[in-house]
Structure 1
Amino acid sequence: MARQLDEQLAARFPPGQQLRVLDVGMGLGTQALRLARAGHTVTGLEDDPALLAAAREALTAEPPGVRQRMRIVEGDGRDTGVHFLPGSFDVVLCHGVLMSVPEPDPLLAGLARMLAPGGLLSLVVRNGDASAFGPGLRGDWAGALAALDAGVRLPGPRTGADDEPDTVASPAQPPGEGRADRLADLTATLAGIGAPLQAWYGVRVFTDAVHPQRPEPDAGLPVDVGMLLAVEERAGRTDPYRAVATLLHLCGVRG
């Protein structure tokens, strides 16, 4: 996701521009810190006390310049209007959050209002068009049937999408937990809030769906992480593979 986000930033903003970034539901602050290190001014919004404490601790270990460019605000992504003025940010990130929100449309509308004209809204969501893959490949046939019937799951725990290495799933977090969203529905929503979809990618095409369990260290199946990431990067941009990824990365641009 980091490479995809960097690609979109490079395509939409002049080289060297210091962007104003809002990371909603920043988790441990992995993405926020990465962007602050790159020279951008970043605000991280988080309401989980444990994640806030971890992010603040990580920030204290950064050089002074990074600490000056990043601030952490305790709050809920649905209350951005309480904390910030409309049009305050060039980039708004909302990664791994929508799956724990029962009704995402008001949240998305509020995030779009935070964007300056031409600003980028970056979303990472669970893929409702492929939600049967995870339970089916784990042999959970009842879960697969339920996903095929509904296409979505009930709200569940945050995925921490930005707190793991790109495209490599956490073994403690089974794929498919949390509510999922369909690409067509989100495309319509983004158009309706004035930030129409400009690009989308699949994330975790093979690592979750085709090979959901990592090999054991003594299984004689060494994982070439570099090759794995290269395959995931290519598949996440290629039809029909990206359509069956566990996660979708959507990029909308404010008109």
Structure 2
Amino acid sequence: MHPNDKLINAEFKSYQLTQAGDRYFDGLADKFSRSLYQAPRGELRLAMLDYLLPQMLTLSHQKVLDVGGGLGQQAAWFAERGHRVTMAEPSADMLNYAKTWHRDAKTLPEEAITYLQAPLQQLTQHVPGSWPLITCHAVLEWLGDPQAALATLSDLLAPGGQLSLMVFNRDALRFSNVVKGNLEKALSDRLAGKGKRQRLTPISPVSHAEIEQWSADNGLVIDAVAGIRVFQDYLRHSPATPAETETLLALEKQYCRYDPHWRLGRYLLYTLIKPEIVE
């Protein structure tokens, strides 16, 4: 067998959604690592989170619930900054990858991260209570019912607590398809992936208007919003030199929170606040 045959066969391997219509990523930890975090897109995404989270969140070493923690980058980011993190992830493969990476890391405080294999829908059973800080990054777009998921996150959040929510932007996906020449696909709004292959087009991309409505429905206030990868996905040519890469990052940082640019970020990053109860 040719070495590339395994990659080709994996690309066309069929995956099943859960009974709830969600997409898990068992068997894809290595692909995620290569495609999302060892590639320019993933590097820029992490660089922008590193830049934006201290601006958009009030951080005071509070405990953190990291929902759908994936390969563990966000859990590590908070643990390195003195937070006690509970990382919940439904995929055993992804969770084991994160555990191994965290164990081998030299910068993580010992026992700073607790691991839980569970889907978002079950977290009110496993980790109920009032969490002062919840992160849920790039999760809602892989769920069959992202609206219900936001309601669950609201239930888990303490009064006065902060939810750092990042979603795959449906409007940016449409714009990207037009730029690529997929005009009929964009016109008919056939944007969502099917979740049956290795390709990482989300099954439930979300719009800013939906986040506004769902937040209001659950008594959450949008405190801050930013776009991540506002320009990168629309470039005709990728940066060819380290200097061009630095210039692109500077552009992303400069305009990520300015209207209208943030609205076309590949991802939208929100800080949602649950108001204090006034008696």
TM-score, structure 2 normalization? 0.74
1:229 and 2:249 are equivalent in the alignment: yes
| Equivalent residue, structure 2, for 1:169 | none
Counterpart secondary structure, 1:40? coil
| Equivalent residue, structure 2, for 1:8 | 56
Superposed CA deviations along residues 75-105 of structure 1, whole A, max 9, x for unmatched, are 1011111111221x21111111111112112
The 1:131–1:111 alpha-carbon spacing in structure 2 relative to 1, beyond 3 Å, is same
Given that 2:80 and 2:107 are in contact with CA atoms closer than 8 Å, whether structure 1 keeps it comes out as no
**Following superposition of structure 1 onto structure 2, how do residues 15-30 of structure 1 map, counting pairs within 5 Å?**
17-30=60-73
Higher helix share: 2
Shift in Å at residue 155 of structure 1? 5.5
Structure 2 distance, partners of 1:123, 1:195, is 12
Shift in Å at residue 191 of structure 1? 1.8
Deviates more, 1:95-104 or 1:60-69: 60-69
Given that 1:100 and 1:155 are in contact with CA atoms closer than 8 Å, whether structure 2 keeps it comes out as no
RMSD, matched Cα: 2.4
The 1:41–1:204 alpha-carbon spacing in structure 2 relative to 1, beyond 3 Å, is same
TM-score, structure 1 normalization? 0.80
Say how many residue pairs are matched. 226
Deviates more, 1:136-145 or 1:35-44: 136-145
The 1:48–1:31 alpha-carbon spacing in structure 2 relative to 1, beyond 3 Å, is same
Q: 1:86 aligns with which of 129, 147, 151?
A: 129
Q: List alignment gaps of at least 5 residues for structure 2.
A: 1-48
| Equivalent residue, structure 1, for 2:227 | 202
| Equivalent residue, structure 2, for 1:103 | 145
Shift in Å at residue 27 of structure 1? 0.7
**Following superposition of structure 1 onto structure 2, how do residues 60-209 of structure 1 map, counting pairs within 5 Å?**
60-63=103-106, 66-87=109-130, 89-147=131-189, 153-154=192-193, 156=195, 177-208=202-233
The 1:191–1:212 alpha-carbon spacing in structure 2 relative to 1, beyond 3 Å, is farther
Superposed CA deviations along residues 146-194 of structure 1, whole A, max 9, x for unmatched, are 33xx6x5245489xxxxxxxxxxxxx967x5432211122112112212
Given that 2:166 and 2:268 are in contact with CA atoms closer than 8 Å, whether structure 1 keeps it comes out as yes
Given that 1:157 and 1:177 are in contact with CA atoms closer than 8 Å, whether structure 2 keeps it comes out as no
Identity %: 29
